[in-house]
Structure formats: C-alpha cells, structure tokens
Amino acid sequence: MEIITIKDIAKALNLSTSTVSRALRGSYEINPETKRLVMEYAERMNYRPNPIALSLKENRSRSIGVIIPEIANNFFSQAINGMESIAYNRGYHVVISQNHESYERELVSTQYLAQRRVDGLLVSLSGESNDLEHFKELQTKGLPIVFFDRVPQDYITHKVIADNFAGTYEATEHLIKQGFRRIAHLTSPSWLSITYERLEGYKKALQNHDIPIEDSYIKYCSHGGMIFEEVEQAVMELINHPNRPDAVFTAGDRLTTTCMSLIRREGLRIPEDIAIVGFTNLMTADLLNPALSAVRQPAYEMGQLATEFLIDLIEHPKATIRFETKKLDTHLVIRDSSLKATP
C-alpha cells in the first residue's frame, strides 16, 4: 500500500484537488454527497495529509521544540512527560534536543529546530549560556519562547521556575536546625538563575540564624557536574578545608551523586562526618546509602505549565499579554543523609 495524496483521491473520484482538499477539511461550501464520497475514500485508503507539505505552506509545523541540558536527568525527563501530556492534547508534537551543557550544542539545536519550523521553543539554558542572542533573534522573528528551570534574568517572556530560594532556604534551615553549623554549598555555574536564587536562599538561612557566611564553603562547578574532575576538585577542597564543613547542600543530580561518591571514597561517613541535602529529583533518593534528603521540584507540573504558556503564545500571537514568571513550590523530603547523629 503506497502513500496516497490528495491528487490520487482527486483522480480516483474525478474531482479537482481543491475540491478534495475542501471536502477533507469539511468546508461548508461542498456538496454533502461529494464530501461523503471523499471522506469515505480517504478513510478507506488510509489517507494522511503530508505534514511536510503543510509545514512548507503554512510555515508552521504543529510541533514544539524542547532544548534541555540532559535527558539523563530525572528532573528533565519528568518535565518532558509533563510537556507531552499538554502538547498532545492540544495537537502538538514535542521534539527533544539536548545541549549537554554546551553553548555550542544549544546553538546548533536552536538553529535546527527553528529551521524545522517548530512553532515555539521550551528552553532550559545550558550551563555555558550567557549569550542569548540566538533566542532573542528568533523571538523578534516571531518565534515564541518560554523558559523553564534555568531562565535568563533579562529576557521578557513567560518563565516557569521552582521556588529555588525557598527550597534552598528550607533545606539549609533544616540542616541548621539539625545542629550543623559549617554548611557548604556545592552548586552550578555562577551565572545561572537557579544558582543565584539557591545561593540567596542559602545565605538568607544562614543570616537568619546568625551563622556567618564563609565564602570558601561555596563552590561553583561551571559544567554543572558533567565533568567529574571539576566536581572532584571542588569536593576535595571542601574535604581538605582547614575547617571542614559538617554538611553540604548540592544543587543538582550529578553534583549530588558525585559528591556522595567522593565523600565515600575519602573514607568519610554520611551524615556523621558530612551531612548532605540535594536539590534533585533522583528517583532512587530513598534507596541510597544513606537515604538522601532532597528538595524536589514539581518537574511534571513545570513542564505542563511551560507548555500551556507556550501554546497560548503560539495560538494568540498578537494578544498583548503581560508576561509572567510562574514560581512553583518545591518539596523537602527529609531522610537519613541530613540527620544529626544523636551523640
């Protein structure tokens, strides 16, 4: 059975392609009888319009592009599931692209998706992205973009984020209340929004509890955990610190797992020597040794919300909307890794 086109239907039914086209899309100005004939034949031959031809004609594709750092990260894969749930219901497909924390790859992915005429873009920035011209340019050309998770500061569009400040504040305060005083903060590249917001939550918690902020306890990993050596250096500096931290907050999946491995490798115990709370959606958190205390983001909902924003932008291009930044609550799950051993 070959692929069948409108032309084939027209030929078979002795009609013109335009009549067939109109019948297929239920135009009111078509004879009901003709319409029925066309519909039936199309159905029988299993006709499917060629989306490529449509894209070319209409300069749109009924699909939205997603650009994220890594799919091998539970936060992002959950977010994608949220996106798909909304997108499919509203008739869009989702095209996934990874940037692997590289600006270069982000650029290529963006270009690719734009050329494939996606109708909009859902983006979480790579760890290397401080230049956003490629997005700005597309946006002025009329391509709607919604950022989520890692969002740019000075960029006017919808954004969906977790309440990074509150989440980190809560986690840090929890550590303080457990009795930890020398709390380190292992985090992503300094220029990312999530990094800043989490750092602020951390600092505020310390301040509110009259604990001085020790800069040497704050470590940035400019590749967000993708490069082992980078994390290793940061963690080793903490471990070998003259006044070794007794707890650490880790701002991501890779950062958390690598940090745990390293603490273990160095023969230290969690939480007795160093306690840990991770900002992570790891599915195995409660199976870890020790079970990992974690700040979870509502990844699925974030994906859904971002997609709703985006599709609204796509479908009402000229509506003068106030752009929103939606902030969703995180959820702290306390497990063994952050509990002070009772002496």
Partner DNA sequence: GTGAAAGCGCTAACAG
Partner DNA sequence: CTGTTAGCGCTTTCAC
Residues lying near a second copy in the complex (CB under 8 A) are found at 1-3, 48, 50-53, 55-56, 61, 70-72, 74, 77-78, 80-81, 84, 93, 95-96, 98, 111-112, 115-117, 137, 141, 257, 260-261, 264, 282-284, 286-291
| Cβ-contact 145, 120 below 8 angstroms | yes
Residue in this structure with the two tokens 């599915």, named with its chain if needed = 283
Q: Is 296 helix (H, G, I), strand (E, B) or coil?
A: strand
> Which of DNA, a second copy, none binds 30 (CB below 5-8 Å, type-dependent)?
DNA
| Short-list 237, 273, 282, CA closest to 255 | 282
**Contact between 24 and DNA per CB under 7 A:** yes
Q: Residue 257: which of DNA, a second copy, none does it interact with, CB under 5 to 8 A by kind?
A: a second copy
CB of 48 vs DNA, minimal distance in Å: 7
Binds 16: which of a second copy, DNA, none (CB < 5-8 Å by kind): DNA
First CA to last CA distance, the chain: 76
Q: At its nearest, how many Å lie between DNA and the CB of residue 117? A: 10
Q: How far is the CB of 63 from DNA (least distance, A)?
A: 16
CB of 279 to DNA, least distance (A): 44
**Beta pairing class for 145-148 and 183-187:** unpaired
CB of 160 to a second copy, least distance (A): 20
Nearer to DNA, 24 or 39 (CB): 24
Q: Considering only residues 47 through 106, tell me which ones interact with DNA, judged by CB under 7 A.
A: 48-50, 53-54, 56-59
Q: Which does residue 84 touch among a second copy, DNA, none (CB within 5 to 8 A, set by kind)?
A: a second copy
Q: Are 188 and 220 in contact (CB under 8 A)?
A: yes
Among 14, 46, 140, 342, binds DNA (CB under 7 A): 14
Q: Distance of alpha carbon 64 from its chain centroid, rounded?
A: 14
Omega prior to 69 cis, within 30 of 0:
no
Q: Least distance from C-beta 91 to DNA, angstroms?
A: 14
Strands 331-333 and 293-296: antiparallel
Long-range contacts of 204-207 (CB under 8 A, 24+ apart): 204/165, 204/169, 205/168, 205/169, 205/172, 205/173, 205/176, 206/172, 206/176
Q: Considering only 20-28, 169-177, 198-206, 292-300, which stretch makes contact with DNA by CB under 7 A?
A: 20-28
Based on its alpha-carbon atoms, the radius of gyration of the chain, rounded to whole angstroms, reads 26
293 is a contact residue toward DNA (CB under 7 A): no
Determine if 116 is a binding residue for DNA (CB under 7 A): no
Residue 15 binding: pick among DNA, a second copy, none (C-beta 5-8 Å cut-off by kind): DNA
Single-letter amino acid code for the residue at 229:
E
Give the separation between CA 79 and CA 278, rounded to whole angstroms: 18
For residues 31 and 216, which CB has a smaller minimum distance to DNA in the complex? 31
Q: Is 111 a binder of DNA (CB under 7 A)? A: no
Spell out the residues 6+ positions from residue 300 whose beta carbon is closer than 8 angstroms to its own. Answer: 78, 79, 81, 82, 85
CA distances from 215 to 119, 239, 274 (A): 44, 15, 18
Compare residues 2 and 210 and give the one whose CB is closer to a second copy.
2
Name the minimum Å distance from CB 142 to DNA. 13
Interacting residue ranges for DNA, rule: CB under 7 A:
3, 5-7, 14-19, 21-25, 27, 29-35, 48-50, 53-54, 56-59
